[in-house]
Amino acid sequence: MSDAETEIHGHCAPGFEPVRDAFAANFAQRGEIGASVAVVAGGEPVVNLWAGWADPAGTRPWEEDTLTNVWSTTKAMTSLCAHILIDRGELDPDAPVARYWPEFAVGGKADIPVRWIMGHRSGLAGLRVPVSVEDYYDWDKITGLLAAQKPLWEPGTATGYHAITFGYLIGEVIRRVSGQTPGRFFASEIGGPLEADFHIGLPESQLSRCSDLRGIRPTQDEQAAMAQTYASAHPAAMAALANPPLTGDEANADDWRMAEIPAANGHGTALGLATVFGTLVDGSSRLISAETLKIACTGQGMFTDLVLGFPVEFGLGFALSGPGHHFGPNPAAFGHDGFGGSAVCADPEAGVAIAYVMNAMGLNLADDPRKMAMIDGVYRSLG
């Protein structure tokens, strides 16, 4: 789609034109199909743009309220549910997971603290037994398998990205503490009060608002490179990313959309995501206190991740911008990337939150060029 063919809709406050320009370039130069970007600064939305098509065939225009599966960007929203419980004193990140989930104590896991599952250090990056996509719709089955499983490496000694299991692990803790599934907790404590259009587990009535994803389509060379990478990968990488292998097309199934998969199947708009993260850096403490946010964003150690294969540092559920500037030039910025290109992030120093969602899946697990272009546009706008 050329720049001339892309009609951009929405609002862009004066001074934030670089964001609009970068957004248009995603369609003209980076193969975008449909997308939205939102920026909240000082608690107010200054950018809310959308464009393109809600389906790869180009039959449905992307609308202001189009919902999109954002994959691991969901982890930021699920983590925030846990931080609300931490803020209330109902959940201790240094307590053993087994305090809240007694069945978890077997297999050498009795002493694993909550912070290790939130920091991808528990050794449970994936399941040892083969599972299908459909198994992810069965909460009790997946949490039962995780509770019974031995870790894939010595817990606490390294990070190994918990691509799908993260949501079931911290999600079951949220459920045991609050009495609500993570999707229902998010709706009642975050999405509803903030009127933020984001959901973990869609009701059937909202399915018609979903965009359809175009899953990854690797070239032969890319497939060969991926096969070589997997051949030398740590077993945790295979468990996390290839049991079962995912292309992104799985998210187009209604059953996927209606399940609660709190690491991977959140659906929302960019404005919904930015609204939530905007409350963390606007000084309001509407969701959690400044002290709890500090705890959430305290690094748990820089590791070359056993699954991702590159250096990364996590806080408690949030990824940190760090020296790699993954979420902008301020190392204290934090957020989360989603498989394919989506992201949400916030910068406490600048008081700004940014979100990007799209339906053309890229191969990057982090720092997709389209997301990085949005972040660059925001900081050029901020000067």
Task: Check: CB of residue 163 under 8 Å from CB of residue 126.
Answer: yes
Whether 318 maps to a domain, the answer reads yes
Give long-range contacts, CB 8 A cutoff, 24+ apart: 330-338. Answer: 332/297, 334/296, 334/297, 335/76, 335/277, 336/72, 336/73, 336/75, 336/76, 336/79, 337/72, 337/73, 337/364, 337/365, 337/366, 337/367, 337/368, 337/371, 338/70, 338/71, 338/72, 338/73, 338/74
Whether 7 maps to a domain, the answer reads no
Whether 35 maps to a domain, the answer reads no
Pairing of β 34-41 and β 352-358: antiparallel
Give, for all 383 residues of the chain, the pLDDT tens digit: 344 578 999 999 999 999 999 999 999 999 999 999 999 999 999 999 999 999 999 999 999 999 999 999 999 999 999 999 999 999 999 999 999 999 999 999 999 999 999 999 999 999 999 999 999 999 999 999 999 999 999 999 999 999 999 999 999 999 999 999 999 999 999 999 999 999 999 999 999 999 999 999 888 888 888 777 777 789 999 999 999 999 999 999 999 999 999 999 999 999 999 999 999 999 999 999 999 999 999 999 999 999 999 999 999 999 999 999 999 999 999 999 999 999 999 999 999 999 999 999 998 889 999 999 999 999 999 99
Domain residue limits at 200: 58-368
The Cα–Cα gap between 240 and 162 comes to 6
Whether 15 maps to a domain, the answer reads no
The Cα–Cα gap between 305 and 158 comes to 7
Whether 39 maps to a domain, the answer reads no
Whether 52 maps to a domain, the answer reads no
Take residue 1 and report the two structure tokens written for it: 């789609």
| CA trace torsion 296, 299, 305, 307 (10° rounding) | 0
Count of domains for the chain: 1
DSSP 149: P
The Cα–Cα gap between 366 and 48 comes to 23
Whether 70 maps to a domain, the answer reads yes
357: domain CATH number?
Answer: 3.40.710.10
Active-site positions read 72
Whether 298 maps to a domain, the answer reads yes
